[in-house]
Amino acid sequence: MYDVIVIGGGPCGLATGLALQKRKISYLIIEKGAIVNSIADCPLDMRFYSTSDRLEIGDIPFISQEVRPTRTELLKYYRLVTDRNDMNIACHEKVVHISKNKDLFSVRTVDQKGADITYQSRMLVMATGIFDHPRKIGVSGEDLRKVKHYYKEGHSYYGQEVLVVGGKNSAVEAAIDLYRNGAQVTLVHRGDSVYKGIKPSLLLDIRNFIEKEKIKFYPNSSVTEIGDSEVSLHTPAGPITISNDYVFSLIGYQPDTQLLQQIGITLDSDTLVPSFDPETYETNVTNAFLAGVVTGGITNTVYIEGGRFHGETIASEIEKRIATSSIVSYPNVREA
């Protein structure tokens, strides 16, 4: 039994745990993978656009070799924060069900050995992010093994015909890296350009590669079908079919709607933004809060830089509720 269970061990979940720990409120963070799992899944050589100071949590300084840190530096920093604060985290436990009975939340998990574990708490913080649930194109063949929704590195695709779908930073960065690793790259985007709103560090390269036709670009186009050795596209010039070995569908991610809706949290049908009070981050379900990227649904307007402060607001609100109740706080221990 805990005062608070935090679901999600990303930067915003860790920041929430630190804010609760500072106030001596018992908590448990449950993470289905390793801590900051979404960052671990980023491309191996990725350098973040955010400066290191904007990724700090828990008042622990983050100093990187350059102004903008690499994936490796950021992973090391969050491990250091977790160790230094001896945080209460259950890693590699997947939440399979959440229920609420009167004033208690029950969270059932399955660990890496297949064991069922149930935890209870008075309050719940959903810091699940969106990175674990890629948005789908919605076409035949999307479930083929050759279709990927995450990009790690380009070497494995040397000499292969690769289609990248998307027009944001992740898609453009993947297309550039694949080309540099010897892949034959085609980029498809439903918009008329991929030059708008991307990192300045990517703009010069992608413009150069497209204009020199080193990367084949189809604007105002979409995928209509994915086959074993080809992909069909709808383009302004009409339907075409191109030879293909692999597809990277990098069109964004969305919240785990099923987990949110299990306890009655409502979501906007278009944006998938959950219902919550912007002053306290409490949802329409009493004592259930949201922290981090999940508050933005599919709008791509909430990032680590801002989401890391949600935990402080939530912890302050929870502290007030505990102080004004007659309930004694539970100890901060975990027994599986």
pLDDT tens digit string along 284-318? 999 999 999 999 999 888 889 999 999 999 999 99
DSSP labels for 187-216?
Answer: EE-SSS-S-SSS-HHHHHHHHHHHHTTSSE
Q: What is the pLDDT of residue 324?
A: 85
| CA separation for the pair 32, 232 (Å, rounded) | 36
Q: Which residue has the tokens 């390793």?
A: 34
Q: What is the pLDDT of residue 336?
A: 37
The fold adopted by the segment(s) 147-249 is FAD/NAD(P)-binding domain (3.50.50)
What is the pTM assigned to this prediction?
0.88
| CB within 8 Å of 175: residues ≥ 6 apart | 164, 185, 187, 206, 209, 215
* Residue-wise pLDDT tens digits, 100-121: 998 899 999 999 999 999 999 9
Closest CA to 27 of 112, 124, 172: 124
Percent of the chain with pLDDT over 70: 97
Q: In CATH, which superfamily holds the domain spanning 2-133+253-323?
A: FAD/NAD(P)-binding domain (3.50.50.60)
Dihedral in degrees, nearest 10, Cα atoms 113, 118, 119, 124: 100
Q: What is the pLDDT of residue 330?
A: 62
Spans of all domains in the chain: 2-133+253-323, 147-249
* Identical fold, 2-133+253-323 and 147-249: yes
pLDDT at 332 over 70: no
Mean pLDDT (the chain) is 94
What's phi and psi for 271, nearest 5 deg? -100, -15
